[in-house]
Amino acid sequence: MLFIFASRSRPREDRYLHTRVALMCVGAGLGLAGMLLDIGWLIWIALAALLAGLALRHLRTRGRDADEEGVEPL
């Protein structure tokens, strides 16, 4: 029930999945370390890593998008 709103029409492969997971883990670790040690700049770096991981979600290749929209190859 947790993934009730997940789209079933999405392709299963994601080129950036491992990179996104790594960025999220690094960002979370740096954020916790920054809060524990009370280092402001480390928290900002963690926030940048988390936002980079979120930004990777929206990257797609144009060739696959054209094929998914119904454009038939010659």
Q: Report the candidate in 23, 12, 13 with the shortest Cα–Cα distance to residue 55.
A: 23
Q: How confident is the model at residue 8 (pLDDT cuts 50, 70, 90)?
A: low
Q: Please check whether residue 42 is in contact with residue 33, taking contact to mean a CB–CB distance below 8 angstroms.
A: yes
- Tens digits of per-residue pLDDT, 42-74? 999 999 999 999 888 877 654 455 455 555 555
Q: How much of the chain exceeds pLDDT 90, in percent?
A: 43
In the chain, where the domains are located: 17-57
Confidence (pLDDT) at 72:
56
Residue 69 token pair? 């929209």
Amino acid at 28: A
Q: Is the pLDDT of residue 33 over 70?
A: yes
CA distances in angstroms from 17 to 39, 53, 57, 62, listed in the order given: 29, 9, 8, 18
Q: How much of the chain exceeds pLDDT 70, in percent?
A: 64
